[in-house]
Amino acid sequence: MHILFFSSPDSNLFSAKADLEGNTLAHIEAVLDKLVDIVYEHRPQLIFIGGFALSDELLSKLQIIYDAFPNVEIALCVIDPEPDFLMRAIRTGVREVIGSSTQASIKETVARVSVRAKNNKKLDANEARIIGFMSAKGGDGSTCIAANIASALAKHKETRILVIDFSLPFGDIEMFLTSQKQTNDLADFSDEIDRLDASLMDSMVEHVSDNLHLIASPLSVDRLIHIKPTHIDRLIEVSSKSYDYIIIDIGAGIDPISIHALAKLHQLIVVATMTVPSLKRATQVLRYWQELGLDENRLSIAVNRFQSKADIKISDIEKAMGRRVVHYLPQDNVGVQESLLKGIPLIDLKPNSEFTKSIFNWASEWSGKVQGKSLWQRLKNR
């Protein structure tokens, strides 16, 4: 395990090195603003953090790290934290809070994290990161966001993206990506599942661009009988070895296909709007996720069509869900309609819009890049 000890300058917080044979260790003392840069540089599996004020800024940095690296473990070293701060840290994703930096407490924390690492399926660095987008209720916009996130990630030509439409029976994510007619759909892949390999997959996917590929939803209901939940395993197994990201549009329904897909995700983004029905449904999705026994740290909430003067506030949503809203995107109904009519991603139609800026900022937290700039360069320019 690669472990990073990060503390404020001159704190001497982690000066007593624990005997952690079999692990690689890095100990860095720096100001809090350097935390995200250093995590991107070292890519640790476990981070011990201490010596900083328990502030909103600290929680914000932790959220950026969790969004970019969902499988990272963070241990906060704090003495007698306020219950409110502790609860907010847990909602962010913190699993370990230790009251001292003694060798014994560090070793015990590492032991607990190691056990969890063995019990949880971890993301293989050589396989795709699989991210699902689900609307809390129909019309909340997860399809539009998934398509534009995929397009933003694909701006970096060395990154290969596959978009799969599991929004059955009438998915339409291709309308946000391309005006090309689809040659094959998800049912065609199911028909070929027994002989599916990387070569066959590349010949069957829709090449939206050189590095952005698509598997569309079937156009007719009668073709749904071709798709079996067990086919999802093979499809994701093969595609994971050929792509850096697999973006899955789950839509707003829960069916045998989507249930099977949920277990394969490294992260689920539930897209909600600032309405009571949407918030109610988002809460139900969270409860269902918990009932499935899936890792709660892999479910995040995003708000679409954000309005600062809405009756429901972001704080209301966070209180109801018991977790932070990771991103909120501004409303752009005119742009969305134009995107659908032309089959062009909204980020390409309106490259300078607030929606586009929000999408690129979000994508950067996964890729570490924003239109040619690294994440840490962007943070320094704020």
Distance CA(280)–CA(289), nearest Å, equals 14
Contacts for 85 with CB less than 8 Å, ≥ 6 apart = 54
Token pair 């260790």: residue: 25
Give residue-wise pLDDT tens across range 317-346. 888 888 888 888 998 889 999 999 999 999
Residue closest to 358 by CA, chosen among 330, 324, 325:
330
This prediction has a pTM of 0.66
Q: Which of 80-84, 127-131, 378-382 has the highest mean pLDDT?
A: 127-131
For 18-43, letters b (16+ CB in 10 Å) and e give bebeeeebeeebeebebbbbbbbebe
- CB atoms near residue 267 (< 10 Å): 21
**What does the pLDDT average to over 82-108?**
82
> Phi-psi category of 164—alpha, beta or left, where left has phi over 0 and alpha has psi -120 to 50?
beta
Structure tokens at 165: 């439409």
**What does the pLDDT average to over 265-272?**
91
Of 53-67, 108-122, 126-140, 259-273, where does mean pLDDT reach its minimum? 108-122
Please determine, for residue 170, whether its predicted confidence score (pLDDT) is greater than 50: yes
| Cα torsion angle, 109, 113, 33, 92, sign | negative
| Cα torsion angle, 53, 56, 59, 64, sign | negative
**What does the pLDDT average to over 167-173?**
85
Please list the residue range(s) of the chain that carry CATH number 3.40.50.2300: 2-119
Q: Which residue has the higher pLDDT, 264 or 123?
A: 264
Predicted confidence at residue 375, as pLDDT, reads: 38
Predicted confidence at residue 212, as pLDDT, reads: 96
Please determine, for residue 69, whether its predicted confidence score (pLDDT) is greater than 50: yes
CATH of domain 129-380: 3.40.50.300
Please determine, for residue 370, whether its predicted confidence score (pLDDT) is greater than 60: no
**What does the pLDDT average to over 217-228?**
83
Please determine, for residue 382, whether its predicted confidence score (pLDDT) is greater than 50: no
**What does the pLDDT average to over 337-362?**
92
Write out the CATH class of domain 2-119: alpha beta
- CB atoms near residue 84 (< 10 Å): 9
Please determine, for residue 143, whether its predicted confidence score (pLDDT) is greater than 90: yes
Average pLDDT, the chain: 84
Please list the residue range(s) of the chain that carry CATH number 3.40.50.300: 129-380
Burial class (CB in 10 A: 0-12, 13-18, 19+), 308: exposed
- CB atoms near residue 237 (< 10 Å): 12
For residues 272 and 304, is the Cβ–Cβ distance under 8 A? yes
Please determine, for residue 79, whether its predicted confidence score (pLDDT) is greater than 60: yes
Predicted confidence at residue 337, as pLDDT, reads: 92
Q: Is the peptide bond before 351 cis (omega within 30 degrees of 0)?
A: no
**What does the pLDDT average to over 209-231?**
87
Element (H, E) at 302: strand 299-306
| Helix 56-68, helix 35-42: angle, nearest 10 | 20
Of 52-61, 214-223, 290-299, where does mean pLDDT reach its minimum? 290-299
